[in-house]
Chains A and B, each alone.
Chain A
Amino acid sequence: MTDETGAGRGSASPLVVLDGITKRFPGVVANDDVSLELRSGEVHALIGENGAGKSTLMQVLYGMYPAESGRIVVRGQAERIASARDAIALGIGMVHQHFVLVDPFTVTENIILGMEDGQVLHLEEAQEKVVALADSYGFRIDPAAVIEDLSVGEEQRVEILKALYRGAEILILDEPTAVLTPAEIGDLFENLRRLRDDGKTIVFISHKLDEVLEIADRITVLRRGKVVGETTPVETSKAKLAEMMVGRPVLFDLEKPEVEIGEPILRLEELRGGRLHGCSLEVRAGEIVGVAGVEGNGQRDLADAIMGLRPLEGGRIMFGARDLAGLGTGATRNLGVGFIPEDRHGQGLVLDMTLWENAVLGRQDDAEFLGRGGVLGLRKIKEVAVRLLEEFDVRARSIEMSARTLSGGNQQKLILARELETEPRLLLAAQPTRGLDVGAIEFVWRQILYQKAAGKAVLLISAELDEIYALSDRVVTLYEGRITAEYPPDAPPEEVGRGMLGDVAEAAAG
């Protein structure tokens, strides 16, 4: 294994060696004889599908799980890391996917939490240290700001500073970009490059291939608990990485079926309310309309308004000849609208109910399921649930399990199964692949394209431009609660990007 980063980074002797790590959970081998080397001054991407064992491996390194076998060598010395405290002492820091910050505390208070000397806090002194630390890496952060006032990107910066304050030389970032906007991702990458150039080692856990190719010096791919390969961005490509991860070729460019575009199914006229300030658009049968936009420009309110989940101040939602405004969610659904909500846990599933209950949720009053006197036909419901789980490849041990036990991909498949079972004329898909891995994304995309092929109308709201491009027949941009422009699916991304920022003087297509 020679140094192929091309930039001459890294030293000959590795900083950390994970040697033959095996970690079992009951019924599954999460890490099966995994070996990995981390060199100083590199960004090392660890990629794989959900369940490939990448988080587990890093949690072993961070002292959160003991490994059944294998060695961890740090700076040439075999170490036993039994707790996060041990890991921190060895200069290993980890930024978890969901942050562990105290909301009413300031940035400084959060950073020094657990590192205080004595009983009296020397906040000013600490603040100076924090400022010096932030400045040395060019992190823009106000040390006196209160956490709850910060954006997600800023909170992440605090988490990274927390680790650095504790002397981290090796920084493990678990899916750091999953929660960020594109601009924040740019900032993060800039910060990470600076840290790397300063000699820090960064482990970047991800399944977003474009990002990995952009930031990583070396890439290790895990599949089903095993290392399937190690490569560099120069040697590989998105398609190759995806194939390594999934174990079969993955199509990123799914073929859009040729469908005759029919009559308008959904027509929004000047919707107002919440973050919507006069949003108008149209979706026709056999057509997928992609709504692109930076998050926070009214995406959530748009979906909620169509589904009757939020009141409107004005405007009409014409579904065929009917106005859905004020109709209520149940009636909207019964007219033939399927809904994949962006908030899978808060709107899509009842996590503490069983899979079969979730599989028919919203259809409990269908004549098919509801017997006389309001008694549910459990046998019929379970029959349908079993069929749906099979048809949509939801991997679960039993329909009696709670939805909480499913992975994100399987949860989303369950929602798709439920929503598509009734063959809705309109599918409203909001961020349908958020947080999913490559295999699941492909599955969801295919299902959405099937809808088009079947002549249904699809309104796709997504923050992922890739997804919009992959699926849409028409792209519209949402900015400050208004549709600012419309583009064909082959418009250059820069142009669509301008529409996403409301800068459409020349586009003027909306």
Chain B
Amino acid sequence: MAASGVAMPTARDRGRPTWLDGLGGQLLALLAAMGIALLLGSLITIAYGENPLEVYGAIAKFSFGDITGFGYVLANATPLIFSALAVAVCFKGGMFNIGVEGQYIVGMMTAAWGALALDFLPGPVLMFAAVACGMLGGMAFAAVPGILKVKTGAHEVVTTIMMNGIAVSLVAWVIAGPLRYEASGGGFNVNLRTDPFAENARIPDFGHLLGVGPSANLTWLFPAAVVTAIVVWFILRRMRLGFEARAVGASAGTAQASGISIGGVQIKLFVLSGALAGLVGMQQLLGDKNFLPVGYEAVLGFTGIAVAFLGQNNPIGIIFAAILWGVLARGETAVQIETDLPREFIIILQGILILSVVVTYQMAKRRLFARQLQKAAAVEDLADSGAPGDMDAIARDDR
């Protein structure tokens, strides 16, 4: 308002971008959430008769005490970055992909098949081929709920949960049947797994470049995960697909009226999400064991939901959230070795952390919006600015 002495604003004044405000707010909120979680965690520790400082000290020592410890943390974080990105991609388009779990399990299966069937490929080509097979498997498995949603309206939460069950059973069958390790001789249960892959299918170690010991098993997948996060950020922020996805996610009606094909965007997002999910299992499959056992590490897809949430579905935020989660996972070992606390303490701590994040992010969001409104108030009166739009909602109900 010019009359109230505020400089007449122009559109040319770019100001501080909203996302920057958002990022700052998120960091603060995350720190506050961690503070709350640590505080409540210490109460539990005290109730258990342990010294919280010693417990946290142990976690810190194991995670940051030496470079190999931190290597463990990053190795823990690697699959979580992929699975959280897979969740976030769908979430940006307004969809909840609970099926990252099943998609990565299927991805491990197809990658295992690729590593075994394509073993004639030379050198690292085999490794890349196996990874590609994993991504394709995840994509194909994720495309199903995407297509079902668009063509029939079946809700993705229901279909993806159901497909998780299918994935587990499918992989169990494949390991027990077509891909079963035949050379093992006796011991039915012990050796229920696929044949070992050729050594050139293995993803090489990255940790030694940083001085991380080989036990941490920090492979080139970690830098690949960081690059992938940046690529996902670029897709969401700088590319047409991401632009349309965010419009669909934030207001499907407006996106549709502007001519965006909502179904097309949703299927693309699901396929992209599936490709990312296909990478989740590569750490354990090609980075660690080099065969697919029936007792593979599960639940990484579900953990990805928590990590995506912690990173507020921001690809860059997800990197840090995954590392934080990696610290907690490392803490499990620390707690068991150095203290008398049960390892469930860490799970409780994770739960508390998520809960406090829910609260602090909401508070940060409100403050951020209030600030935005205040800034807008330099141009328009705060109290009245929201008012006219409310009628639109009522008009909608009138239909």
Q: Which residues of B contact A51 (CB under 8 A)?
A: 1, 380-381, 384-385
Q: Residue B189 at the A interface, CB < 8 A?
A: no
B257 close to A27 (CB less than 8 A): no
Q: Residue A346 at the B interface, CB < 8 A?
A: yes
A350 close to B239 (CB less than 8 A): no
B390 close to A343 (CB less than 8 A): no
Complex interface: stretch among B71-79, B111-119, B244-252, B275-283: B244-252
Q: Which residues of B contact A30 (CB under 8 A)?
A: 381-383
Q: Which residues of B contact A351 (CB under 8 A)?
A: 250-251
Q: Which residues of B contact A329 (CB under 8 A)?
A: 256-259
Main secondary structure on B side of the interface with A? helix
B244 close to A364 (CB less than 8 A): yes
A407 close to B396 (CB less than 8 A): no
Partner of B385, one of A54, A98, A373, A405: A405
Q: Residue B394 at the A interface, CB < 8 A?
A: yes
Closest CB in chain A relative to B160 CB, distance in Å: 25
Q: Residue B210 at the A interface, CB < 8 A?
A: no
Partner of A343, one of B10, B381, B392: B392
Q: How far is the CA of A409 from the CA of B253 in the complex (A)?
A: 20
Q: Residue B181 at the A interface, CB < 8 A?
A: no
Partner of A398, one of B14, B261, B390, B391: B14
Closest CB in chain A relative to B392 CB, distance in Å: 5
Map CB proximity to B onto A356-381 as digits: 1 under 8 Å, 0 otherwise. Answer: 01000110110000100111101000
Closest CB in chain B relative to A412 CB, distance in Å: 9
Q: Which residues of A contact B380 (CB under 8 A)?
A: 28, 50-51, 395, 406-407, 410
Q: Which residues of A contact B250 (CB under 8 A)?
A: 350-353
B interface size (C-beta, 8 A): 61
Q: How far is the CA of A373 from the CA of B9 in the complex (A)?
A: 36
Taking CB as reference atom, which chain A residue is nearest B17? A400
Map CB proximity to B onto A287-300 as digits: 1 under 8 Å, 0 otherwise. Answer: 00000000110001
Interface residues of A in 390-414 (CB under 8 A from B): 390, 394-402, 404-411
Closest CB in chain B relative to A476 CB, distance in Å: 21
A342 close to B383 (CB less than 8 A): no
A53 close to B11 (CB less than 8 A): no
Q: Which residues of B contact A435 (CB under 8 A)?
A: 387-392
Q: How far is the CA of A376 from the CA of B258 in the complex (A)?
A: 17
Q: Which residues of A contact B257 (CB under 8 A)?
A: 307, 309, 329, 339, 341, 347-348, 362
Q: Residue A97 at the B interface, CB < 8 A?
A: yes
B389 close to A175 (CB less than 8 A): no
Q: Which A-B residue pairs are the 8 nearest by beta carbons?
A: A408-B388, A330-B259, A362-B258, A398-B15, A51-B381, A435-B388, A27-B378, A389-B11
8 more CB-based (< 8 A) A-B contacts, given A346-B251, A397-B9: A27-B377, A50-B388, A56-B384, A98-B393, A361-B255, A375-B240, A397-B15, A431-B395
Q: Could you list some 7 contacts between A and B, CB below 8 A?
A: A333-B258, A345-B389, A346-B392, A350-B251, A390-B11, A408-B388, A434-B391
List residues of A whose CB falls within 8 A of some B CB: 25-30, 32, 50-56, 59, 65, 97-98, 152, 174-175, 178-179, 224-225, 295-296, 300, 307, 309, 328-334, 339, 341-355, 357, 361-362, 364-365, 370, 373-376, 378, 385-386, 389-390, 394-402, 404-411, 431, 434-437
